[in-house]
Chain A
């Protein structure tokens, strides 16, 4: 039987030959087969569950890194302390050309790391020495606070392993006491609760402890690198252990591996913008002049519809 071209106009309802089909049966079989696959893969390969890190585990496993980071929060030298929107105005965020979308959105999640990560938790139930140190810190000028904390952070950093540095000349002010008290609080486990309950007693928001943890110089990033999760390890699409992760983010991850994105200070906004453009390109691909013609030039459809073409010939 021959069909003229008008009978197979793709915009018109099909009026050519039909074959028997059972939609409901197909769906049921698909659910049974895919369900069996998912249940079997889960039984065979399970899923990963690396325990979450805590302030307590950080202070116990990497004490020097913890005290250096705490001193850095007071000195304003950590990533959070100099981040900018949406947390504070201490940094400018990232630009694409003259546009700074972070600034336009503004500071909607206010975080002052020195206050939020150190002073406020310590103020919950301080001993007399810590109480006095908090008072001294609060009474000092911002310039003085930075001088004390920077000097102490530098001294800790130079030593590398010390948990506290003696201060015979008083150039560190109350900072050693504050940092040591915070360290003790972290080791006892009290800091984990203090960071999450500062706004509400039954929290589900972990912004403060996670931002503090993300400021860690070695503890958090080393744990991630050991699980091949770092940015330069294509970490965006990886999962802990050997399980498959978000492999569908491969293209997003790819840009971070190559120039000019790799070394750019505006890498995040550049990659996000590029992915936005590419996503729009995929959505409106049928309207793009060259790309939408590729399926006609490379005849994969001959394979897909080979039975139909064989039947016609």
Chain B
């Protein structure tokens, strides 16, 4: 059996063999990649790393720790401000890609995965807000339930069930978001950075 015929060979051909090492870890970029707007993609990733780091610290100590510990309150603050920075950077990145029409040149999947990352971030952020175990989380959970119930989602995702929301926030949703972000970054590396508009007859 040839290597290509095996399952492993096929997976390798469909993944690793699609990339050159310099595509994955480039040390050169097209000359047009020279603008402040490119900072916001990597800044979003950096804020995501801060979110994961501060979130893991909060996870290790438990959901009520930050109410009673000064260090816990500070770590919670880092988590909150990382969320705010993450969304600011991501929205600027999204707007930048819109004005660059960055879906050109077979980059539709890159745009779609970026949008999916945006929506997955909103849902992940929302579950974070309803597991604060304070007044804010009580109010948000009781108000948001009506929207979810109206479309039938509330029967399966109960915003008033704090345990369910905690598990979603620290396990399923970060995994899903992380997978989408990795997929998005791989597509960016595979297709390269979109060239300027007005070229190639556009």
Contacts and interface: CB of A to CB of B under 8 A. Distances in A.
B35 A248 contact: no
B32 to A, nearest CB: 4
Given A39-B78, A45-B81, A224 B139 contact: yes
B18 interface: no
B197 interface: yes
A105 interface: yes
Interface centre among B116, B194, B197 (most CB of A within 10 A): B197
Given A47-B76, A240-B135, A11 B84 contact: no
Interface string A292-313: 1011101111001111110100
B155 A296 contact: no
23 contacts: A9-B105, A11-B105, A14-B195, A18-B29, A19-B28, A19-B34, A27-B42, A38-B85, A42-B74, A42-B77, A50-B134, A52-B133, A94-B150, A102-B152, A109-B158, A204-B162, A213-B142, A229-B139, A236-B143, A272-B151, A282-B115, A286-B108, A309-B196
B136 A30 contact: no
Interface string B123-149: 001100100111111110111101111
A295 B100 contact: yes
Interface string B23-60: 00111111111110101001101110110001000000
Interface in B46-98: 46-47, 49-50, 54, 66-67, 73-74, 76-78, 80-82, 84-85, 87, 89, 91, 96, 98
A246 interface: yes
Contacts, number: 290
Contact of A34 (B50, B116, B202): B50
B31 A301 contact: no
B111 A286 contact: yes
A210 B142 contact: yes
A10 B136 CA distance: 47
Interface in A243-278: 243-249, 266, 268-269, 271-273, 276
Contacts of B35: 304-307
8 tightest Cβ-Cβ pairs between the two chains A and B: A10-B105, A204-B163, A105-B152, A42-B77, A286-B103, A101-B152, A105-B155, A268-B150
Given A204-B163, A229-B139, A247 B199 contact: no
A16 B161 CA distance: 56
B67 A49 contact: yes
A129 interface: no
Given A210-B142, A223-B135, A5 B155 contact: no
Contacts of A160: none
A272 B153 CA distance: 11
Given A34-B46, A38-B47, A102 B196 contact: no
A166 interface: no
A246 B125 contact: yes
A252 to B, nearest CB: 8
Given A105-B156, A224-B139, A295-B101, A246 B129 contact: yes
